[in-house]
Amino acid sequence: MKKLLQVTNIVSGYLNRPVIHGVSLEVNENSSVAVIGPNGHGKTTLLRTLSGFLPLRGGSIFFNGNDASHMRVQKRVEAGLVHVPQGDQLFSDMSVEENLLMGAYLQRDYSNTNKKLENIYDLFPKLKERSGQVASSLSGGERRMVGIGRGLMTDAKLMIFDEPSLGLAPLIIEQIYEALQELRKSGMAILVVEENPSRILNFADKICLLDAGHIVWSGTVDEAKSSSHILQTYLGG
């Protein structure tokens, strides 16, 4: 299987202090990797570094065979590395449909774009109902759907989801993860970051544990379940 994302020993942080000290991970084509860990230990910093908002202070990032370590944010998106940010970050004065279409910003083939839009509406029928509504008037769950749908509109080769279940009611989280499962089945490479690991166990092929800016453990879900220490500390039981 081809290594789509290869992160080696990266160091990154804010001002004078590195938050991430030597993190390494890999995401292969057609696989899904989950990064879990307590809040404040570098998960969002890691993702912002992967998408290019934070400069790399050490180590390297290779995406699809190319050195992406110092690529600008927009270039990484063009290459197919798409980050669906925490808290949605929607375009608040644009409608649902305009937000979704922004995902297709880089595409020039309008018929393809329209097809993708229809697929998103099939996946999230609620959004079709509200397609003309302005994004700031949506509920939390609907906003999350727009955020994810927007990411799906891109020509992504690997999608990074930053806490897709954050702040949502359990029923909505179900729906979100159903959509993510569909995505996974369709063959998309996925990297998910979650603080709450309960969903991850049925979703990811591989799990990495991020603690205090280090990856302290990584392995398959089965390996995680069979290690009682991991179970207790990070998976609640």
Partner 1 sequence: MDVLIQIIITGITLGSMYALASVGLSLIFGTLGMFNMAHGLFMTLGAYAAYSAAISLKIPLLLGIFIAMGAGALVAIVTHLAVVRFMLGNSEFGMNVLVATAGIGIILEDLLLKIYGGYPYPQVLKVEGLVKIANVAITYQAIIICLVALLLISSIAFLLMKTRLGRGIRATAQNRDAAMLMGVKSDTVFLQVMALAGMLAGVAGLMISTQATLSPQMGGDPLLKAFVICVVAGLGNVWGAGLCAFGLAIFEATIGFYIGVRFGFPAMLLLVIAVLIWRPQGLFGQEKVVRL
Residues that bind partner 1 (CB under 8 A): 51, 53, 73-74, 77-78, 82-83, 85, 89-94, 98, 101-103, 105-106, 150, 154
123: tokens are 């996946």
Residues 6+ apart with CB under 8 A from 176: 141, 144, 145, 148, 164, 165, 168
Provide the b/e sequence for 191-225 (b: ≥16 CB within 10 Å).
bbbbeebebbeebbebbbbbeebbbebbeebeebe
134: tokens are 């302005």
- Please state the closest distance from residue 229 (CB atom) to partner 1, in A: 36
Query: Would you say 54 or 176 has its CB closer to partner 1?
Result: 54
Run of H or E residues at 50: helix 43-51
Residue pair 190/33 in contact (Cβ under 8 Å)? The answer is yes
Residues, the chain: 237
- Please state the closest distance from residue 205 (CB atom) to partner 1, in A: 25
Query: Would you say 135 or 183 has its CB closer to partner 1?
Result: 135
Query: Would you say 43 or 150 has its CB closer to partner 1?
Result: 150
Query: Would you say 109 or 174 has its CB closer to partner 1?
Result: 109
Query: Would you say 77 or 172 has its CB closer to partner 1?
Result: 77
- Please state the closest distance from residue 231 (CB atom) to partner 1, in A: 34
